[in-house]
Structure 1
């Protein structure tokens, strides 16, 4: 049997307010290219990814200036929330496709990690998977009963054994992910990523150990770190 088609979906309709910049964070430049360009280039260059769909805000004025129309990239209108943008992307896919969802602000993803993640397609014991890294730091839980005027007081220390940081890409059959997202949203569930929707729908999701360099650029302090990782990535190539 032939391999199913894998289509990357990049939700890029967010404004990235925590970056405190004059534009959405995906359009900030690192090493001469925008974060979004680095991200798309990483996906396009992977031999097992058939195409890339980018979901942008209807008010986006930056994407057209990138000249990405020269590459195999489709652009669609994103939604209010991440899940809405991903659903809009899945509507462009066939039921037999696999949707590989990747954050716009994760430009340092490694090709080898994507290849390892693709192995879940042939694993009949799971219904997709995500890249993740095990928690290495001591984890603290805040006291949730305190008011917003109180200082951050520790309630207790969480056991970190078995805790992982969820990363992207996250890879699932398009038809099942569409149903899981629709059902979760209809029930008012807190869907923070695609895996959470699949988990709520009762599916088994694999975690594939990925590189800790696959950071999400969220705060200004992340920019020089991402620049370093991208330079290292180019050196290895």
Structure 2
């Protein structure tokens, strides 16, 4: 996004994106504590009032998403369930979180929130990424979202395994997949968007200020 501020510190109304996100998580009855992983260069989070909440712990992350998630996992017990969520997804719904938790705990398998791909997906040529090579069959394609839920022990082991083998990990589920696991897909609402582009901020503002997200 065209801003000097990290996206999680952009404002929606009177609060930052991360404050909206944390308020959603703090008010969920099945979430016992929240570990906020921040960049070593972050000088903003500790200035927010929400940083002093008694359910929030803060730790320093690494250079990659995988390293940062590992930093948070080190504060958990092996048998804890870790619900990993993007700070830039403030529109997540309580009922989607509850649905994910219930399905995963009932099956004792890890799982993620996701949406079915509805747009036609085009694959570009490797040597020309602005020319269509072919269309992909979207029948079984899903777009991964968060939260993603796994036991701390399993997720930590798979992340370490992937990092030690220099495997690119784009989300927690991809680490589990690398270890041979098959996380569950739990469908969520499409307004659980991740703020990455300027127009996303306006859309998130709409969702958060209208009854569709309540």
**Same fold? TM cut 0.5:** yes
Q: Quick one: distance in 2 between partners of 1:205 and 1:69?
A: 32
1:205 pairs with one of 183, 202, 209: 183
Q: Within the alignment, does 1:90 sit opposite 2:73 as a pair?
A: yes
Aligned-residue offset at 1:236: 6.2
Query: What's 1:220 paired with?
Result: 198
Where do 1:188-199 residues align within 5 Å?
Answer: 188-199=166-177
Distance 1:36 1:217, change over 3 A: same
Q: Within the alignment, does 1:172 sit opposite 2:150 as a pair?
A: yes
Where do 1:52-201 residues align within 5 Å?
Answer: 52-71=34-53, 72-119=55-102, 120-124=104-108, 127-146=109-128, 152-201=130-179
TM-score calculated relative to the size of structure 2: 0.96
Aligned-residue offset at 1:22: 1.8
Q: Quick one: distance in 2 between partners of 1:157 and 1:224?
A: 30
What secondary structure, in the 3-state scheme, does the structure 1 residue paired with 2:205 have? helix
| Alignment deviations for residues 198-220 of structure 1 (CA, whole Å, 9 cap, x no partner) | 01111121000001000000011
What secondary structure, in the 3-state scheme, does the structure 2 residue paired with 1:137 have? coil
Contact 2:93 2:213 in 1 (8 A): no
What secondary structure, in the 3-state scheme, does the structure 2 residue paired with 1:75 have? strand
What secondary structure, in the 3-state scheme, does the structure 1 residue paired with 2:92 have? coil
Q: Within the alignment, does 1:51 sit opposite 2:71 as a pair?
A: no
Aligned-residue CA RMSD in angstroms? 1.3
Deviating beyond 3 angstroms after TM superposition, the runs of 4 or more aligned structure 1 residues are none
Question: Where does structure 1 lack aligned partners over 5 or more consecutive residues?
Answer: 1-18
* Alignment: residue pair count: 212
Aligned-residue offset at 1:159: 0.6
Aligned-residue offset at 1:69: 3.3
Contact 2:207 2:213 in 1 (8 A): no
Aligned-residue offset at 1:177: 0.3
Question: Where does structure 2 lack aligned partners over 5 or more consecutive residues?
Answer: none
Aligned-residue offset at 1:121: 1.2
TM-score calculated relative to the size of structure 1: 0.87
What secondary structure, in the 3-state scheme, does the structure 1 residue paired with 2:86 have? coil
What secondary structure, in the 3-state scheme, does the structure 2 residue paired with 1:152 have? strand
Query: What's 1:7 paired with?
Result: none
Query: What's 1:10 paired with?
Result: none
